[in-house]
Amino acid sequence: MDKHHIRQLELVAIIIVFIATLSPLTVQAGGLTLYEVGTPDVGYASAGYAARADDPGTVLTNPAGMTRLKGKQLLLGTQILYGDVKFSPSQETTVAGGNGGNALGLLPALSTFGTYAVNKDLSVGIGMFSNFGLGLWYDSDWAGRYYADDAVLIGISIMPAIAYRITERLSVGVGLNIMYGYHKNTVAINNIDPGMGDGRLKLKDGDIGIGANVGILYELSKGTRFGVTYSSPVKLDFSDTPEFSGTGPGITTILNNRGLYASTLDLGITVPQSVMASFYTELNDQWALLGNFGWQDWSEFGKIDVSLSSTANPALTTNLKYKDTWHGALGAQCDLRKDIQLGFAYEYVYSGSPRINASRGPLSGTLAGEYPDMSIQFFTANVTRKF
């Protein structure tokens, strides 16, 4: 083997570490910010997200809405979502394997919120929930196993909040988003020798980031109100020593020589900022119309900072060129009686059809193809009984 080829393999071995950290992001499905967190908003597909303000979930959806709640209130919520995402490899893919199967499956969630009206103008509240993150579990023989095998990126938040009614119509609120982020990633390593099978690289770490949730609520009349909520970005910095297993003699020697077995890898991501504008209006004593329009800054999430503690190895900031997502929802609710309410809604989140065309050296091969339409649609109907 000539020196040029050895040097090329050394570079590939270093890049493997970076690939492992970026892989779930590269395939355009490593993270997701949900509007639904197990509160009654699930039944409305989040229509009226920042304007309904009918329960303690407003701590998250619009903290200013707490001024509409009386006394002490507590909300416990749960939900189960099912996701179906399959990769469709194209002829340009050079690694043998399948489409990875459904990488998502069931996505359970729990949340709890509480509010307290200190007086008619001042309210406080707190919430615990998870509205950011996702897990991916691909089949072991899928074509992109050298880019991503299993990946989990989850954010769990505790949010204390306060709201104040400035005038009879205008309220403002702010919440402190204390987020614990957890990242775990496994990627296959091509040992070159087909008789050895694949090696594995694992990374995992947790970090705490701080952000803010700011909202305003304007009540045009008793039955009509408008709300806007801004959620700030949250910076999470993960750090771990890569754990290698099952690597062949050649790869093992290169990793040892480059100090990668003892190096600490740092990965910095930014949870996207977002804006949601909503309305709620009562058409008559029985019917009300709800809607909203929102934006999430996923282009910023795609800018990843990666570095190794060893000075002999490179550091980089890469832009994965994510596209921002846009959200729209429209719904209606009907009061059948004072204690029974019906709701109907439709929600659409535009994410496009992400295409992948990545080539990262002879060991990882070329991965090309697309995820068919990743846009999310919700059709919901709900019945609420008040006791």
Close Cβ partners of 292 (under 8 Å, ≥ 6 residues apart): 46, 47, 48, 49, 50, 51, 276, 277, 278, 279, 327, 328, 329
Residue owning tokens 């008040």: 386
Give the pLDDT confidence score for residue 139 in this predicted structure. 80
Q: What's the CA gap between 99 and 281, in Å, rounded?
A: 46
Segment among 23-32, 248-257, 374-383 with least mean pLDDT: 23-32
CA atoms within 13 A on the CB side of 164: 2
Q: What's the CA gap between 215 and 80, in Å, rounded?
A: 28
pLDDT band at 3 (very low <50, low <70, confident <90, very high): very low
- Lookup: tokens for 328: 């729209």
- Lookup: tokens for 277: 């504008």
DSSP 215-230: EEEEEEETTEEEEEEE
Q: Are 278 and 226 in contact (CB under 8 A)?
A: yes
Q: Does 5 score more than 50 pLDDT?
A: no
Give the pLDDT confidence score for residue 358 in this predicted structure. 61
pLDDT band at 227 (very low <50, low <70, confident <90, very high): very high
Question: Higher confidence at residue 100 or residue 47?
Answer: 47
DSSP 245-297: ES--HHHHHHHHHTTTTTPPEEEEEEEPPEEEEEEEEESSSSEEEEEEEEEE-
Q: Does 29 score more than 60 pLDDT?
A: no
CATH number at 273 reads: 2.40.160.60
Give the pLDDT confidence score for residue 28 in this predicted structure. 43
The amino acid that residue 336 corresponds to is L
Question: Higher confidence at residue 72 or residue 261?
Answer: 72
Average pLDDT over residues 27-54: 76
Neighbours of 104 (CB within 10 A): 18
The amino acid that residue 327 corresponds to is H
Instruction: Specify the pTM.
Output: 0.81
The full length of the chain comes to 387
Question: Higher confidence at residue 362 or residue 26?
Answer: 362
Residue owning tokens 């990262």: 360
Close Cβ partners of 122 (under 8 Å, ≥ 6 residues apart): 67, 162, 163, 164, 165
Give the pLDDT confidence score for residue 356 in this predicted structure. 64
Strands in 355-359's sheet, in edge-to-edge order, are 88-89, 366-370, 355-359
Torsion of CA 92, 95, 100, 104, to 10 degrees: -80
- Per-residue pLDDT tens over the stretch 200-211: 888 889 999 999
3-class SS at 349? strand
Give the pLDDT confidence score for residue 59 in this predicted structure. 97
Indicate the number of domains in the chain: 1
Give the pLDDT confidence score for residue 249 in this predicted structure. 80
Measured in degrees and rounded to the nearest 5, phi and psi for residue 315 equal: -120, 150
Q: Among candidates 163, 135, 149, 136, which has minimal Cα distance to 200?
A: 149
* Domain range for 111: 3-385
- Per-residue pLDDT tens over the stretch 207-225: 999 999 999 999 999 899 9
Question: Higher confidence at residue 10 or residue 80?
Answer: 80
Q: Are 36 and 78 in contact (CB under 8 A)?
A: no
Cross-strand pairs, 136: 151
- Lookup: tokens for 17: 């570490």
Q: Does 25 score more than 50 pLDDT?
A: no
- Per-residue pLDDT tens over the stretch 145-183: 777 778 888 899 999 999 999 999 999 999 999 999 998
- Per-residue pLDDT tens over the stretch 245-285: 888 887 788 777 777 777 788 888 888 899 999 999 999 98
Environment class of residue 167 by beta-carbon count within 10 Å: exposed (0-12), middle (13-18) or buried (19+)? exposed
- Cα-trace Rg, the chain: 24
Provide the mean pLDDT of the chain: 80
Q: Are 292 and 51 in contact (CB under 8 A)?
A: yes
